[in-house]
A = this chain, B = another copy of it.
Amino acid sequence: MILFQCDYNEGAHPRVMEKLMETNLEQTVGYGEDEHCAHAAELIRKACGNESLAVHFLVGGTQANMTVIAAALRPHQGVIAAQTGHINCHETGAVESTGHKVLALPHKDGKISAAQVERLCREHREDASFEHTVQPKMVYISNPTEYGTLYTAKELEELSAACRRNGLYLFLDGARLGYGLAAADNELDLPFIASCCDVFYIGGTKVGALFGEAVVMSNDELKRDFRYFIKQKGGMLAKGRLLGVQFEALMEDGLYLEISRRADRLADKLREAFVRCGFPMLVESRTNQIFPVMPDAVLKELSGRYGFSWQERVDDTHSAVRFCTSWATREENVDRLIADLEKMGPIR
C-alpha cells in the first residue's frame, strides 16, 4: 500500500533529523527562549527582508490558527474566511471554542476576493442593527488553499488593501506555503507576503519537519503579549528548541524551497498522467495537491493499492479525490501509480 492521502505520512527530512540528533544533548533553556529559536527566527526575518518581524514557533496548524485568531480579536469580533477554509471546516470549531464566529464567504476554487470583503464590511457598517451582528475584524486565507490553488500577487495586494481600508487584519495560513512558493505558477515571495499580511505562517509539518509552524507577525498590535497566548492555548513546547532546530535546518541553504520544488514537480508529473488518462482535474493548480475526478469503479480498484483521500461527489458515478505528494514522496511510487493509471485509461 502506497500512501498519497496527505503530506504528513512520513517523519522529517533527513537533514532535519540529523540536526535534531546533533543537538540532542545540548543543554538549553526551555519554552523557545533558546539560541536555536533565536537563530531560526533571524533566518526567517532575513528571508522576509524585514528585521522588525516577530517570529514565534508553534507545533501545528490548528493550534497556530486558533492562537493567532484568539489573540487578535475582541469577543464581539469575527474572522472572515472562505466556506472551504480550514478554520471553517476541519478544526472541530476551534475558533468558535475561543468565542469567535467564522464569517464564511462563498469561494472560487478555495479563494475569496477583496470585493467580497469590501461588501461584507460595507453591509455591516450600513446595517441599522449592526451591533446585533458580529463585527468583522480579520480575514483568513490559506495559500495554497485547501484546493491547492494560489493567490496571484494582484489578488493578495487587493485583499491587503481592502483589509487596511476596513481596519481588518489579514492572516495567511501557510501550512503548505513551501509548495506554494515553489509552484510553477507562483507569483509571491516571502517579502511580498510579509508586506501584505499582518500575520502569516510558514508551515513546517507538511514541508519537511516532524512538526512546527513559524508564525510571522508584522503588525505591532498582534505582537503584543503573544507568548502569553501560546502558553494559554497549550502551544508552548517545553523543549521549544526542537522547533528552532528544525526551522534552522529548513531555512538554511534553501532546503525548504528545494524539497517543495521536488514535490511540486512530482505532482505535476502525476497530474499530467491523470489528465492524459482521461481523468480531469476538479480545479486547476500546480502545487502538491491533485484533485482528479474519477469513476467510482476506478477509485475502488485503485484503493486496494494506493491511499488517497475522498474530496467530494461530482455526479452519480464520479467523485473527486485527492492525491498529495510531499518532500518524502519517492519518484518510483509516482511512476508505479502512473503505470497503473495508464493501464486503466483513457476510459470513460
Chain A residues proximal to chain B, CB less than 8 Å: 1-3, 5-6, 8-12, 14, 17, 20-21, 23-30, 59-63, 66-67, 70-71, 74-76, 78, 89-94, 96-102, 128-129, 131-135, 205-206, 210-211, 225, 227-229, 231-239, 242, 307, 309-310, 328
Name the residue of chain B whose CB is nearest to the CB of A67. B234
Pick from A206, A235, A328 the residue with the most CB of B within 10 Å.
A235
A1 to B27, alpha carbons, bound, how many Å?
Answer: 9
Cβ–Cβ < 8 Å partners of A11 in chain B: 20, 23-26, 239, 242
Bound together, the chains give a CA A10 to CA B241 distance in angstroms of 9
A-B contacts besides A10-B27, A59-B234, A96-B134, 7 pairs, CB < 8 Å:
A8-B239, A9-B28, A10-B239, A61-B238, A93-B99, A128-B310, A131-B231
Q: Are A132 and B10 in contact (CB under 8 A)?
A: no
**This chain's copy number in the assembly:** 4
Bound-state CA distance A241–B131 (Å) is 17
Known: A71-B75, A101-B93. A6 touches B30 (CB 8 A): yes
Q: Is the CB of B128 within 8 A of A309?
A: yes
Q: How far, in Å, is A109 (CB) from chain B's closest CB?
A: 21
Complex alpha-carbon distance, A92 and B30, angstroms? 16
Question: Is the Cβ of B133 less than 8 Å from the Cβ of A8?
Answer: no
- Minimum distance in angstroms from A104 CB to a CB of chain B: 8
A24 to B1, CA, bound (A): 17
A-B contact pairs, 16 of them (CB 8 A): A10-B26, A20-B210, A25-B328, A27-B307, A29-B307, A60-B237, A60-B238, A61-B238, A70-B75, A76-B92, A76-B225, A78-B93, A94-B231, A96-B134, A211-B239, A234-B235
Nearest residue in B to A21 (C-beta to C-beta)? B17
Given known A-B contacts A24-B11, A76-B225, A128-B309, A231 and B96 have beta carbons under 8 A apart? no
Kindly list chain B residues whose C-beta atoms are within 8 Å of the C-beta of A225.
74, 76, 131, 135
Residues of B within 8 A of A2 (CB): 27
Q: Is the CB of B89 within 8 A of A205?
A: no
Are A99 and B101 interface neighbours, CB within 8 A? no
